[in-house]
Chain A
Amino acid sequence: MTTPTAVLFEQVSRHFDQVKAVDGVNLSIQEGEFFAMLGPSGSGKTTCLRLIAGFEQPSAGHIEIFGERVEGVPPYRRQVNTVFQDYALFPHLNILDNVAYGLMIRGMDKKARHQAAENALALVELKGFSRRKPAQLSGGQRQRVALARALVNQPKVLLLDEPLGALDLKLREQMQEELKALQKQLGITFVFVTHDQGEALSMADRIAVFNQGKIIQVDTPQALYRHPNSPFVANFVGSSNVLSPIFMQSLGLPVRWASLRPEDIQVVQTGGYSATLLSRSYMGSANRVQLILNDQPLQALVPHHIPLPADHSSVQIAWQPSNLHLMESA
């Protein structure tokens, strides 16, 4: 038996006047998946999330959530909950009532919903904060409250809109781990939007890369990194050298666009291509080296123990043919 599809997009578009925020998107998210929508701002990823939540309606195409068509279904009738970017905690309610809000609306009695809310707060390690107001909490704590408030409703799909964007680096890394662990523990489908490729790579089971309202590639983090299908993905997910067909031709390689990761370029003694070393910057474990080969600028990440010649002198470079990824188009 195959796992059921949690969210399905079929040729979904969302236009705002002339702007095609989402343009003919096909997407299928499996149940229990930790799915990331990655892209620069204005790429349509947040609009897609809002389409799932029901805050936006598609201009064309159709959307299914667990096999049910949801066009025209308002947000309050969807078994989907959202963790908002600004957390959107209700300032007039204390933490316990914030978390219990969804259950209160559903008509659960006070004792039961407060108990459920306490449990949800314990899940995000916020016991003992029930009586405080949102204004009395730190950013990281508010984020956990927002998470608890969504999870207490036992949604079929949890949507997270840049959930870690407002946190500092240390807290962000900690929350990445916790979110991942929480998702495994609960088995709920998580769909999360981010512009941070590192975050997407480290957390998601699969990633959809968005650009200009379209999905460019959907794949696992490993596949996305190793086999980007386009220069956009190669550049957006990690850094990459995008090689033009003219350059490829000059090396006698297939006349196609290709991508080559900086860490895949090796400095060798003999038998490589003869490039010119322009500059280097010391990164601790490695040197980031700017090279030029047949008029093509290249960036390489060379382990610190490999000796490098002086700037503006010649250096031999090589790469494993399997690390050179041919791409469909520019």
Chain B
Amino acid sequence: MHSKAPWSLKIAAGLGLAFLHLPILLIFVYAFTTEEKSYQWPPPDFTLKWFGVAWERSDVWEALTLSVKVASISTLIALVLGTLCAAAVSRTRFFGRETISLLVILPIALPGIITGIALRSAFNLAEIPFSFWTIVLGHATFCIVVVYNNAVARFRRLSGSLIEASMDLGANSFQTFRYVILPNIATALLAGGMLAFALSFDEVIVTTFTAGQQSTLPIWMLEELVRPRQRPVTNVVAVMVVLMTLLPIIAAYYLTRDGEHSAGQGK
């Protein structure tokens, strides 16, 4: 109950945590400042007007809609392909299975800049014009990994005889998927999907290489930082981004934790 750690260690740990999280707090604070040209500390006064300003600005809305669309569609693609891939790798044995498993995970291990350059030159070579869909493709590469990783772990815990039992009791492949496989992997898919959404939503590097004229929300924020006017609008948007990405990640954490908790009871 009583820790024996010396005070110096406790203070060091406290400072470390403060270093990590105070800057995030600053972003929140600056969203309410009355000073719009530079980040002055302490803020001269507080106001809610930037929320109104941000609300009125169409470029914010365009960037936000684009980001939500890209994240949603990338996540959807990832859910379908990631699940199928996980099912193939965990349920069957075939030549090159390990290699495929590695190749699927690779995009998340590779630096984003490599993925970005590779995709950009590939799109150029294939003469595909940069558009909404090239951003989606770029994001799908790493969204699939997240879904795949979650699904493959769950598939491994799913006993193969459950599927045979379902078939034995008269269910065809579709019914087996609907009534046995899906309920057993649903939380893993939800968690994977939420992580994928959050990853896509704040992605900058791959997006810079695969976007045309469009700006997703993070790109818009980068551009906005160099503008001298209405700086707190960026902070307002940052607060929204934090909320939009943090909430799904927290939800995903709790969903998978519950999943692991109940997994041991199946046997």
* Complex contacts, A91 vs chain B, CB 8 Å: 162, 184, 262, 265-266
1/0 contact string of A116-138 vs chain B (CB within 8 Å): 00000000000000000111000
* Complex contacts, B168 vs chain A, CB 8 Å: 53, 55, 75-76, 80-82, 150
- The one of A105, A134, A153 in contact with B266, judged by C-beta atoms closer than 8 angstroms, is A134
A101 with B266: CB separation less than 8 A:
no
Q: How far is the CA of A149 from the CA of B170 in the complex (A)?
A: 12
B167 with A74: CB separation less than 8 A:
yes
Q: How far is the CA of A272 from the CA of B172 in the complex (A)?
A: 67
Q: Is B8 an interface residue (CB 8 A)?
A: no
A88 with B162: CB separation less than 8 A:
yes
- Minimal beta-carbon separation of B146 from chain A (angstroms): 23
User: In chain A, what residue has the closest Cβ to B161?
Assistant: A88
Chain A interface category by residue count:
20 to 34
* Complex contacts, A134 vs chain B, CB 8 Å: 266
Q: How far is the CA of A55 from the CA of B168 in the complex (A)?
A: 9
1/0 contact string of B142-167 vs chain A (CB within 8 Å): 00000000000000000101101111
Q: Is A282 an interface residue (CB 8 A)?
A: no
Q: Is A319 an interface residue (CB 8 A)?
A: no
A74 with B172: CB separation less than 8 A:
yes
* Complex contacts, A88 vs chain B, CB 8 Å: 159, 161-162, 164-165
Q: Is B110 an interface residue (CB 8 A)?
A: no
User: In chain A, what residue has the closest Cβ to B183?
Assistant: A92
Q: Is A86 an interface residue (CB 8 A)?
A: yes
A55 with B164: CB separation less than 8 A:
yes
Q: Is B171 an interface residue (CB 8 A)?
A: yes
Question: Which residues B155-197 have CB closer than 8 A to chain A?
Answer: 159, 161-162, 164-172, 175, 179-180, 183-184
Q: How far is the CA of A288 from the CA of B81 in the complex (A)?
A: 65
**Assuming the A-B contacts A101-B169, A105-B171, are A135 and B164 also in contact, with contact meaning beta carbons closer than 8 angstroms in the complex?**
no
A90 with B265: CB separation less than 8 A:
no
- The one of B159, B170, B184, B265 in contact with A135, judged by C-beta atoms closer than 8 angstroms, is B265
A84 with B170: CB separation less than 8 A:
no
User: In chain B, what residue has the closest Cβ to A135?
Assistant: B265
Chain B facing A: main interface SS? helix
Q: How far is the CA of A104 from the CA of B166 in the complex (A)?
A: 11
- The one of A53, A76, A86 in contact with B171, judged by C-beta atoms closer than 8 angstroms, is A76
B172 with A90: CB separation less than 8 A:
no
Chain B interface residue count, Cβ-Cβ cutoff 8 angstroms = 20
B184 with A75: CB separation less than 8 A:
no
Q: Is A221 an interface residue (CB 8 A)?
A: no
With a 10 A CB-CB cut-off, give which of B169, B171, B175 has the most chain A CB atoms: B169
* Complex contacts, A106 vs chain B, CB 8 Å: 170
**Assuming the A-B contacts A75-B164, A90-B162, are A105 and B184 also in contact, with contact meaning beta carbons closer than 8 angstroms in the complex?**
no
Q: How far is the CA of A57 from the CA of B183 in the complex (A)?
A: 29
B184 with A92: CB separation less than 8 A:
yes
1/0 contact string of A199-235 vs chain B (CB within 8 Å): 0000000000000000000000000000000000000
- The one of B167, B183, B262, B265 in contact with A76, judged by C-beta atoms closer than 8 angstroms, is B167
- Minimal beta-carbon separation of A137 from chain B (angstroms): 11
**Assuming the A-B contacts A90-B180, A92-B183, A134-B266, are A153 and B169 also in contact, with contact meaning beta carbons closer than 8 angstroms in the complex?**
yes
- Minimal beta-carbon separation of B182 from chain A (angstroms): 10
Interface residues in chain B, defined as those with a beta carbon under 8 Å from any beta carbon in chain A: 159, 161-162, 164-172, 175, 179-180, 183-184, 262, 265-266
Known A53-B168, A76-B169, A91-B162; 17 more pairs at CB < 8 Å: A76-B171, A76-B172, A81-B169, A82-B165, A84-B165, A88-B161, A88-B165, A89-B165, A90-B162, A90-B165, A91-B262, A91-B265, A101-B166, A101-B179, A106-B170, A133-B265, A153-B169
Interface pairs (22), CB distance under 8 Å: A53-B164, A55-B168, A75-B168, A76-B170, A76-B172, A80-B168, A81-B169, A82-B164, A82-B165, A82-B168, A84-B165, A86-B159, A88-B161, A88-B162, A90-B166, A91-B162, A101-B171, A102-B170, A105-B175, A105-B179, A106-B170, A153-B170
